[in-house]
């Protein structure tokens, strides 16, 4: 099962992709998480990517495509994957088509006022990247990750002015990718409003209709 999850910042892609990948048993591949790990470790890629990420711009295609190619060539991705955050530009979509064409592209549709609510309350585990929301999906103990016990932080790029820039970047650079998949009948649009379990049920139904889930 090769699935791409697309949608604006804060639509719930990471939340849903992690759940689906765990249930289906394929790797969850998230370019944002991979980049944040590089930033934390201070690698050359992390150092180069950081300035783009902190201001809400996209990291250059050549860096991202090389990073994703290396990951998708690993043994555990040969049986499929759920991709979150890639492709985000037409050049990235071309690269994916050559590397591992997706079976389906799920598009999470969420209104902008809801995006702001979701991103302002998001907290992310510094250690394992697990995602929470102060109101909608809180951890059992405030500030502590349920999964690994790591400390929860607010992402630097979840500040209001950076969120506005990320949404502008999405409209300018990623909406053409959505249009491209729609034109090729690969896109399935899913209503991303409502609770996390409600959205998950809609995504599972979409995968069943695409013949990818029993
Ligand atoms: P990335 O990490 O991919 O950020 P994003 O696409 O902006 O997406 P988010 O992670 O912000 O949101 P999400 O849709 O995953 O929502 P989530 O599930 O967390 O990328 C960050 C940066 O890295 C980019 O800006 C760019 O610089 C760079 N980058 C990454 N990929 C790149 C690429 N391919 N090319 C170039 N640059 C790249 O949910 C949000 C919150 O809402 C959470 O708190 C969650 O608990 C809550 N929530 C989720 N669902 C619901 C629900 N149904 N109801 C209520 N709350 C909910």
CA–centroid distance for 59 within its chain = 15
Ligand 1 centroid to Cα of residue 44, in Å, is 23
Half-sphere exposure of 176 (CA within 13 A, CB side): 10
Contacts of 190 (CB under 8 A, 6+ apart): 106, 107, 108, 109, 199, 202, 203, 206
At 214 the pLDDT is 85
Residue 12 CB–ligand 1 contact under 6 Å: yes
Residue 162 CB–ligand 1 contact under 6 Å: no
At 55 the pLDDT is 93
Mean residue pLDDT of the chain comes to 95
The first and second tokens of residue 89, run together, are 């530009």
Asked if residues 199 and 108 have their Cβ atoms less than 8 Å apart, the reply is: yes
Ligand 1 centroid to Cα of residue 139, in Å, is 18
Mean pLDDT, residues 132-136 taken together: 93
This prediction's pTM:
0.94
Ligand 1 centroid to Cα of residue 74, in Å, is 24
Q: Is the pLDDT score of 129 beyond 90?
A: no
Nearest CA to ligand 1 atom 27: 53
At 63 the pLDDT is 97
Residue 20 CB–ligand 1 contact under 6 Å: no
């Amino acid at each position: 099962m090769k699935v791409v999850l697309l949608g604006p910042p804060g639509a719930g892609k990471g939340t849903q992709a992690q759940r689906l990948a765990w249930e289906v048993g394929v790797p969850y591949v998230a370019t944002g998480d991979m980049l944040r790990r590089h930033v934390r470790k201070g690698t050359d890629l992390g150092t180069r990517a950081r300035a783009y990420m902190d201001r809400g711009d996209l990291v250059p295609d050549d860096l991202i495509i090389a990073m994703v190619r290396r990951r998708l060539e690993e043994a555990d991705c040969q049986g499929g994957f759920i991709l979150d955050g890639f492709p985000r530009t037409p050049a990235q979509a071309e690269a994916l088509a050559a590397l591992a064409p997706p079976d389906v592209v799920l598009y999470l549709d969420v209104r902008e006022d809801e995006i702001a609510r979701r991103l302002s309350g998001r907290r992310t585990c510094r250690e394992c990247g697990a995602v929470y929301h102060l109101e909608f999906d809180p951890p059992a103990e405030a500030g502590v990750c349920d999964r690994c016990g790591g400390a929860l932080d607010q992402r630097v790029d979840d500040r209001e002015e950076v969120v506005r820039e990320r949404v502008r970047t999405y409209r300018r650079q990623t909406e053409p990718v959505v249009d491209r998949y729609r034109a090729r009948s690969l896109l399935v649009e899913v209503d991303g409003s409502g609770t996390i379990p409600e959205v998950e049920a809609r995504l599972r139904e979409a995968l069943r209709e695409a013949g990818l889930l029993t």
